[in-house]
Structure 1
C-alpha cells in the first residue's frame, strides 16, 4: 500500500520542478482569488495531480524563497519573553544543510524518521530536510512514554530517531538498529544534532519525489481502539492542505497562530502546510501551562491576523475577559472537535468576530467548514470544502440518506458512487493504513471513504455533527447525540467541559450521564449537581434529560480528544456510584 514506486526518471531532486510548482500555484491562487466566493470555488476547483512533486523543493524553495526571502517564515515566542525568528531564506538554507548532514548519517529516500520534538526550530528544519530527501516522517508527541514509543518504532519500522535530549532515556530499552539523533545537550551514544550546523557537504538528493511517494506516517489518536498508521504522500498533505488554507482564510503575509502540539496531524495542518501554502508566517506561543492573558498579550503584540485553536482552548479563553484585548484577528477558526454554539456567541459578543468551525481527520485534510464571508449557522460545521464531495450514508445499508436524516460522513471516491459522475478520489485522502489491508478496504468500501462520524445535512447543504458512530447511543429507545447535550451543559458559567455517555439502568436500559469539569471557583457537590440538572433540563427535550452527573476529570488522548469509550467502559463495569456522582432521584423536586 505504501511501497514506493521505482524511480526510473532519477531527476535531480535539488532543482525545482517548474511545471509542478506552476500547477500547484495555479490551484492555490484560484482558491485565494475566490476566498469569498464559495459557490465558484467549490464548483470549479480541481486538485492538481502531479506525477512528480516535492513541496520543500518545488514550492518552499522554488516559490516562497524566491518571492518572499526576507519575510518571517517561523516566529517562536517563549514564556520568558525571548523570541526566535527565521525568514523563508534562512529556513531554506538551514534545512538544506540539515538534509546534507542527515544524508551523511545514512538517511536515504523512503527511510522512516521518528520525529519527537517540541515547538522548536529544529522541528521545522527536520521536516523540510526530510521532505527534500524523500524520507518518511513519523511525528511523535513528546508526551509519549517508552511503551508507546516501542510500538511506534516496531510497527512503523523506524530507521532513524530525532528526539530531544531530555527524552533520550525513554528509548533506552527499545532495541533496534536505528540511528539516534539528540537535539539539545550531548547524550552518550546519540549523534549531536548541532553538528548539522557545522556540516559543509552536499546533500546529493537521489531523485525527484513522485506525487504518490510516501512522505508522512501518522499514528491516529486512538479514541476507540489501538492507533492505526495513516499513510500520506507528497501529494495528499502538501497539495491536500489547499482546502485547509481556504477554510482558514489564509492570505500571503498573514501572521498565523495555531494552538497545537507537535506529533499530531493538526500541527502539520496549521503549523506547516496550510500557512506556508499561503505564504504566511507561522507563529508559535510556547506555554508550559495554558495562560489566556499571556497568549492574548502575545496576539496583540505580534499582530496575529489568523487564529486557530481547538474547542478546549476556546472554552478556556472565554473564561477570561476577552473584551479587555483589542485583538488584530481577521479570521478565527476551530477544529479538532465540534465547537459549541455558546463559545461562538461569547467570542462574537466580545470581539465582533465569528469563530468558524471546520472538520477533518488525520486521514484527510479539512473536508467540511465555514469559509470566510459565508453565512454561518450556529451548531453546523459548514459545507463541503473545495475538492471534497461529501456523501451521508446509512450506517447499516450504506445507502445515501435524504436531507435531515442522520448518516455517516463519507467521501465520494468516484465510480458508481459518484452519482452524477463528477466526483473523483480526493488527492487529499490518505493512501491507506500501513500494513492493514483489511482496515483500508473496510474504510474505502462501496466507492466511499467512511469517516466513522455521523451528521445530518439541511436543505441549504450545511452539515451538523452528531457524533462518532461509537459515541451515539440510545436511552429509552431514543437516539442520543452526546455533542448536543454537552453543548447545552457548557452554556452554564460553572462548566468548562462535559462528556455525555450512557449509564446502565434496570428500567430504561440506559440513561444519560454527564461527566463534568467545573470552572475555577466552583466546587462539586449536591447544590451544583441540582443546579446543572435543572439547567440542562430547561434547554433539552424530555427524552434528552441528563439524569446523572459526576464531577471528575475527563480521560483524553495525548492529542486532547475526550475518550468517551473509556467512560462508557467505566460505567459498564462500575459497582455503585462515583465519589462525586449525583442522580436525579437525589432531588425529588426534579422528578416532576
Structure 2
C-alpha cells in the first residue's frame, strides 16, 4: 500500500540521514505503525521496481567450490511472486504455518518473501534439528506445510502429521519438488490487505536453559523493528553486507534478511562446510564487503590469523558483533590489525537490536553501547521492580512498555501459547530481558551477564563476562566460560572452562600461567581459582550453555567438601600449582 511504503521510507531515510548523529536519530525517529503493512509487497517489491534498486544485486551466494549465484532485486521480486502463486496452488493460505528448513541457498530467500506475500506464518528451522525436534515444532507450531532441503527430508519419515511436503532438490516419495515452481504460470494477486499486527514469524529459541520458547512476531515487529538493526550496523544503500549466521535463528532474519534489504543493500552469503578464516577473508576481499556482522566466536577465530596482512585488500567500513558480548581484547586486536573498531550490540529473538554502539560514536571499552532508536531501556531491580538510576548500579535490562514512545515496535507479541510466561516477561510495565547490566553517568550500558549466570563467591557478586574478558587476553586462550564451582569456605569460587588457542597444550604449566595472568589483572575476590581445559557446550545456535557447565560442577564437586576431587585430568586448582 502506497501510504505504508511512504511512512516506512520516511522513517528509514531519517535513520540513514542521521547515521552518525546518534542524538538526532534518537530524537527524530518515530517508528511507523501502519494498520496494514506487508513488507514483501509494500517495501521490497516497491524498491525492486525502481530504476535505482531493481538492477542491484539483492542476494549473492558464494559456495565453497567457487560457484556463485547472484539475484537482483527485480529478479527476486518476480521470482518470489511466482513461488507465492505456486504455493497457493498447493494449498498454502493466509495464516497457515510453514516450517522452513533450508540452508543458505537462494530458495530460502525466495520462500521467505513468498510466504510473507501470502500472509502465511513462517517458522524458520535450522537444518541441524533432530526428528524429535521437528516433531516438537510440527506439533507446537501447528504446522500445515513444510519446505525442506532434499538432504533433510529423511528425518520427516519419523514425523507424523498431515502437512504438505515440499523438497528443494530431488523430491522423494510423498514430496513435491520445489523446482516445479519455476514452470508455474499462474499470476500472484494478494487476496487482500495484510494487517500490521498479523503474525508473520514464530521462532523457537535455541533453548540455553529449558524447552525452546515459541516467540511470536508480526508484520510490523520484525520488518519495521529491524530499522534499529539497520541503524546499528550502519548499513547504506548499495552496501555489500556479510553476516555470519545460520538459517533458522533470529539473527539470520536480523542481518541476512530484513536489515540489509531495509537499506537496499546486497546480502552476501559465504557457504563453508567448516569455518575457514582464510577462505572467508578471501571472499570478503573479492566481493568488496563493506559491512560485516559476526558472533564473538568468529571474531575470536579471525584474530588467530594475520589480519594485518589483509588490511589493504579489504573494503570494510563497518564491523559489528552480536549473539554474545564481545571481549574488549578481541576488539582491540581487530582495531590494531585493520584500523576498524568492532561495535558491539545487544538484542534477542524476542526483539530487534535494542542497544548498540552506533557508527561515528565513541566506543567505551567493554560497553555494548546506548539504547537504539525505538527503544526506551531501563535497569530495574529484579526483586522490587524499582529503577536503578545511579551510575554503576546493576539491574535487569528492561524495555519500558509505557511512556512517550509507547510499546516498542520491535518487541514480540509474546510467547505463543504460553500466557503465564508472557505475563511474567511483561510484568510491571516493562519487558524483562533476563540480562543484567549497568549504566555509566553518560548513558553507556555494560553487559554483566544473564541473571542466572551471575553468582556469588565469598558474598561478592561475580560477572562471568568480566572474568572471561580477562581470560581471553591471554595468548593461550581462544574461548572461555566462567561458572561457580562449589567450595566449603567461600560457598563457590570462579572456575574457568578454557578452549586453548592453536599451539598450546593442556598442561599444568599452561594452567599455572593463565591463573597467574588472572591474578595480575583481577581483584583478589574475583580471582579464578580453578581451570579446566575442555570444549564448551553450546546450543545449536552457537551460544555457550553455562547451565550445563554449572551442572557439571555440581556433579563433580557437589558440596565442595572433598579437596582432592577433580572433574578430569585436565582440571587444575590454584592449590595444585603452588
Give the TM-score of the pair, scaled to structure 2.
Answer: 0.97
Distance 2:129 2:512 in 1: 39
Q: 2:346 aligns with which of 359, 363, 371?
A: 359
Please give the alpha-carbon distance, in whole angstroms, between the structure 1 residues aligned to 2:240 and 2:49: 17
Residue 514 of structure 2 aligns to a residue whose secondary structure is helix
* Structure 2 partner of 1:473: 455
Q: Does 1:97 align with 2:82?
A: yes
Matched, 1:110 2:95: yes
2: distance between equivalents of 1:545 and 1:429?
Answer: 38
Residue by residue over 1:193-220, the C-alpha shift from the partner in whole angstroms, topping out at 9 and shown as x without a partner, is 0001111112343211100000000011
Query: Which of 72, 87, 93 is the aligned partner of 1:87?
Result: 72
Report the alpha carbon displacement of residue 525 of structure 1 after superposing the two structures with TM: 1.2
Q: Which runs of 5+ in 1 are unaligned?
A: 1-16
**Conserved in 1, the CA contact under 8 Å of 2:102 and 2:149?**
yes
1:261 aligned onto 2:250: no
The corresponding residue for 2:562 is none
CA distance in 1, matches of 2:260, 2:75: 17
Q: Structure 2 matches for 1:129-528, cutoff 5 A?
A: 129-325=114-310, 326=312, 327-402=314-389, 403-414=391-402, 418=403, 422-528=404-510
Check if 1:51 corresponds to 2:35. Answer: yes
Contact 1:408 1:453 in 2 (8 A): yes
Contact 1:359 1:369 in 2 (8 A): yes
Partner of 1:570: 552
The answer to whether the 8 Å contact 1:21/1:63 transfers is no
1:33 maps onto 2:17 in alignment: yes
**3-state DSSP of counterpart to 1:210:** coil
Write the distance in 2 (CA, Å) between the matches of 1:194 and 1:522: 50
Choose 557-566 or 218-227, whichever is displaced more: 218-227
1:585 equivalent in structure 2: 575
Cα drift, residue 173 of structure 1:
1.2
SS at match of 2:170: coil
Match of 1:541 in 2: 523
Match 2:8 to one of 13, 24, 28 = 24
Residue 533 of structure 1: how far off its partner (Å) = 0.7
Matched residue of 1:512: which SS? strand
The SS at the match of 1:562 is coil
8 A Cα contact 2:242 2:291, kept in partner: yes
Q: Deviations over 1:501-541 (max 9, x none)?
A: 00111111111100000111111011111111111111111
**Cα deviations by residue, 1:133-177 (Å, 9 ceiling, x for unpaired):** 000000000011111111111111111110011101111111111
Deviations 1:309-344 (A, max 9, x none): 000000000000001112110111000000000011
CA-to-partner distance for each residue in 1:335-385, whole Å, 9 max, x for gaps?
Answer: 000000001101111111000000000000000001100011010000000
Shift of 1:179: 0.6
1:372-426 CA distance string (max 9 Å, x none): 0001101000000011100000011110012210000000111xxx4xxx23101
Q: Distance in 1 between matches of 2:307 and 2:49?
A: 37
SS in 2 for 1:76: strand
SS of residue in 2 equivalent to 1:257:
strand
State the distance in 2 between where 1:150 and 1:547 align: 43
Query: Does the CA contact (< 8 Å) of 2:243 and 2:292 recur in 1?
Result: yes
Deviations 1:482-515 (A, max 9, x none): 0000010011111110000001111111111000
Q: Aligned residue for 2:561?
A: none
Task: Tell me the secondary structure at the aligned position of residue 382 of structure 1.
Answer: strand
Once the two structures are TM-superposed, the CA of residue 44 in structure 1 deviates from its matched residue by 1.9
Q: Distance in 2 between matches of 1:425 and 1:349?
A: 41
Contact residue 390 and residue 412 of structure 1 kept, 8 A: yes
Q: Distance in 1 between matches of 2:3 and 2:18?
A: 23
Report if aligned partners of 1:247, 1:371 keep a CA contact under 8 Å in 2: yes
**In 2, Cα distance between equivalents of 1:65 and 1:211:** 23
Residue 62 of structure 1 deviates from its aligned partner by 1.3
1:555 paired residue among 533, 537, 540: 537
After TM superposition, give the deviation of residue 187 of structure 1 in Å. Answer: 1.1
Structure 1 position 578, deviation (Å):
2.3
Alpha carbons 2:48, 2:77 under 8 Å: kept = no
State how many pairs are aligned.
566
TM-score by length of 1: 0.95
Q: Which whole-Å CA distance do the structure 2 matches of 1:141 and 1:65 have between them? A: 32
Contact kept, 8 Å, 2:125 with 2:248, in 1: the verdict is yes
Distance (whole Å) between structure 2 residues aligned to residue 176 and residue 473 of structure 1:
44
C-alpha separation between the residues in 2 aligned to 1:258 and 1:204? 33
Moved more, 180-189 or 557-566: 180-189
Would you say the 8 A contact 2:14–2:28 is kept in 1? no
